[in-house]
Each structure stands twice: as structure tokens, then as C-alpha cells.
């Protein structure tokens, strides 16, 4: 469950990545398009960070990484780094599921990394709330 696209030899298209997400393909495509349209991010399909992360879509603004979206079987994961202040701003507006990810973030500098798995529309909405703070 939630296996990633790990075949480094074949770069997928965005459409293939969305299809890989199964029942959440629309949500994957919606987040990808929302970031590109709303925040004018540059997208690039990449296989970053070694062999376990798999194929993902990097979204950048002026070369600064906003997030990676990793396709998974039946879901997708958004990897993002926010400052503690950004997490604190978002926290009261998020559902418990998203708060748990923040509570367990990987600390880094004045913030941390989360790997936020999306499996439904409510989780997508919380991902958008977090990314809106990141992309400002």
C-alpha cells in the first residue's frame, strides 16, 4: 500500500503519475495544477534523494523549492519545509490529521519538514493551506 514509482529508468509523465494515484488521481492533478496556476511555480519531474523517494514533481519559485509531490499507489505525499512561524499560523486552521504531521515534523533550522500524505479532499485542502503560506 502506498508504494511509490521507483523505476529510475523510465521517467513518467504527469498524467502517468496521476493515474498511478488510482482513486486520488484527480486530487494529485488538482494540487499540481493549483500550484502552477495560483503561484506560478515551475514544475519539473525528478527522481530526488536516492532510491526510496521515487518519482515526484518539484514545484519551485525563483529556483526555491516549494514542495515535492510524490505519486503513490492510492495516494500521494507532499514533502514541504515550512518555518515554525508558518506552521504556527496554519495550525489552528488545520484538521487533526494535518496537525499530527506538524507535531511529528523533522526539525530543520527554524522550522521543519513534513511528508504529508493525501488520501481525500479534506487532506488536500489542508495541504493547500500549508502551501499557501509557503508560496507567499
pLDDT per residue rounded down to tens, the chain (136 residues):
799 999 999 999 999 999 999 999 999 999 999 999 999 999 999 999 988 999 999 999 999 999 999 999 999 999 999 999 999 999 999 999 999 999 999 999 999 999 999 999 999 999 999 999 999 8
Q: Three-state SS string across the chain, please?
A: CCCECCCCCCCCCHHHHHHHCHHHHHHHHHHHHHHHHHCCCEEEEECCCCCCCCCEEEEEECCEEEEEEEEECCEEEEEEEEEHHHHHHHHHHCCHHHHHHHHCCEEECCEEEEEEEECCHHHHHHHHHHHHHHHC
Report pTM. Answer: 0.96
> For 1-28, what is each residue's pLDDT tens digit?
799 999 999 999 999 999 999 999 999 9
Amino acid at each position: 500500500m502506498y508504494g511509490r514509482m521507483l523505476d529510475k529508468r523510465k521517467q513518467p509523465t504527469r498524467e502517468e503519475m496521476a493515474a498511478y494515484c488510482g482513486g486520488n488521481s484527480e486530487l494529485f492533478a488538482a494540487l499540481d495544477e493549483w500550484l502552477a496556476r495560483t503561484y506560478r511555480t515551475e514544475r519539473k519531474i525528478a527522481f530526488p534523494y536516492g532510491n526510496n523517494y521515487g518519482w515526484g514533481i518539484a514545484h519551485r519559485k525563483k529556483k526555491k523549492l516549494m514542495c515535492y509531490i510524490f505519486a503513490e499507489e492510492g495516494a500521494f505525499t507532499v514533502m514541504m519545509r515550512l518555518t515554525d512561524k508558518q506552521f504556527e499560523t496554519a495550525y489552528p486552521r488545520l484538521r487533526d490529521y494535518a496537525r499530527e504531521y506538524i507535531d511529528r515534523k523533522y526539525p530543520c533550522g527554524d522550522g521543519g519538514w513534513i511528508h504529508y500524505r493525501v488520501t481525500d479532499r479534506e487532506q488536500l485542502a489542508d495541504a493547500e493551506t500549508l502551501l499557501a503560506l509557503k508560496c507567499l
